[in-house]
Amino acid sequence: MAASIRRSIPHVVMLAYVVVILVPFLFVLLSSFKENNTEIALHPFGLPKSWEFGNYKEAWIKAKINVYFFNSLYLALTSAVAGVLLSAMTAYALTRMRFNRASSWIYQFVLIGMLIPGNVLFIAQYLLVQKLGILDTHWSLFLPYTAGALPFSVLLICAFMRAIPFELEEAAVVDGMGVFRMFFRIILPLTVPALVTVFIVNFLGNWNEYLLSFFFISKDALRTLPSGMVQFRDAFQLNYALVCTGIVFSVLPVLVMYAFLQRKIIEGLTAGSIKG
């Protein structure tokens, strides 16, 4: 008896923790279906009286969540793909091609980037995109997002590519294969696990990024979800039901992704922090 109580203590504590994590989401989800603040204030914990699916339509179109959503989606996708491709190419050249001296210099040089905390460069990057004349365009996010991912991505893909046996390429060279085909046909397919990890980490980072997207973009039509949501909250401060729908829209895609790829996501994000 005493033993079984003792064995259940960890579960009780952890379940309490899980409740603390999940209750805010549940509260937001329920609120998003409620009619207005009065109903939320009167029945904060209850189910909505009538399920207001109209909130979702209203937030999606009238509050322009759809615009933010697609901006986020395509920026996060394109810069993650660009980051993966660039760092794979670089990692290939650094680890597989025979320029050892140059490669080790370039590798060290790129790794310095991991020492610099992101927001330290914020003002200088702001002035840079201003100077480049791309402030208030999507380039001002695409370029820093892609560049920001490079150090970690190069590091991770390099580590992976070093483990591929050289005999593979020697055989390919004997068969008369060129560098490009070797890269695309042999090395890239073998590196897919690392590429997927890097892609996920970059995608999530870009999807969630707030600071640059809020200050580099001022046109409403170009905003991404994190910064658009803040704008949206400030505009609809009094209508929490609608704000909650916005939260659901921006959180749901990530959670769906997490449901399918949790192991990969956890592995990628933790690897990024320890090596960084």
Partner 1 sequence: MRSTLKNPYVYMLFVLPTIVLYFLFFIYPMLTSVFYGFTNWNGLDTKDFIGFDNFVAAFKDADFRNSILNNLYILLFSCCIQVPLIIVFSLLISSVKRFQGFYKTTVFMPSILSTSVIGILWGYIYDSDVGLLNNILKIFGIDPIYWLADTKWALFSILVTNAWQWMGFYIVLILAAILAIPKDIDEAAMIDGATGVQRAWYLTVPLIKPIINVVIMLSIAGALRVVDIVLVMTGGGPAGATDVMASYMVNKAIKYGDYGYGTALSIIIFIFALILTALYQILIVRRQERVEY
Pair of tokens at residue 240: 């929490």
Q: What distance in Å separates the CA atoms of residue 217 and residue 223, rounded to the nearest whole number?
A: 6
Q: What distance in Å separates the CA atoms of residue 136 and residue 223, rounded to the nearest whole number?
A: 9
Residues 223-252 that bind partner 1 (CB under 8 A): 225-227, 229-230, 233, 240, 243-244, 246-247, 250-251
Q: Give CA separation, 237 vs 19, 77, 136, 189, 242, in Å.
A: 27, 30, 25, 49, 9
Contact region with partner 1 (CB under 8 A), list: 34-42, 55-63, 156-164, 184-192: 34-42
The answer to whether residue 90 forms part of the interface with partner 1 (CB under 8 A) is yes
Q: Of these, 214, 220, 235, 264, which contacts partner 1 (CB under 8 A)?
A: 214
Q: What distance in Å separates the CA atoms of residue 81 and residue 59, rounded to the nearest whole number?
A: 29
Q: Minimal distance in Å, beta carbon 220 to partner 1?
A: 16
Pair of tokens at residue 191: 């590196």
Contact region with partner 1 (CB under 8 A), list: 46-54, 157-165, 166-174, 189-197: 166-174
The answer to whether residue 123 forms part of the interface with partner 1 (CB under 8 A) is yes
Q: What distance in Å separates the CA atoms of residue 23 and residue 209, rounded to the nearest whole number?
A: 25
Q: Of these, 14, 61, 221, 256, which contacts partner 1 (CB under 8 A)?
A: 14
Q: Of these, 55, 71, 87, 197, which contacts partner 1 (CB under 8 A)?
A: 87
Q: Minimal distance in Å, beta carbon 24 to partner 1?
A: 6
| 56 contacts: CB under 8 Å, gap ≥ 6 | 32, 245, 248, 249
Residues 174-213 that bind partner 1 (CB under 8 A): 174, 177-180, 182-183, 204, 207-211
Residues 46-85 that bind partner 1 (CB under 8 A): none
Q: Minimal distance in Å, beta carbon 196 to partner 1?
A: 16
Contact region with partner 1 (CB under 8 A), list: 10-18, 57-65, 156-164, 191-199: 10-18
- Is the separation of the CB atoms in 240 and 59 below 8 Å? no
Q: Minimal distance in Å, beta carbon 147 to partner 1?
A: 4
DSSP type of residue 60: I
Q: What distance in Å separates the CA atoms of residue 239 and residue 218, rounded to the nearest whole number?
A: 23
The answer to whether residue 2 forms part of the interface with partner 1 (CB under 8 A) is no
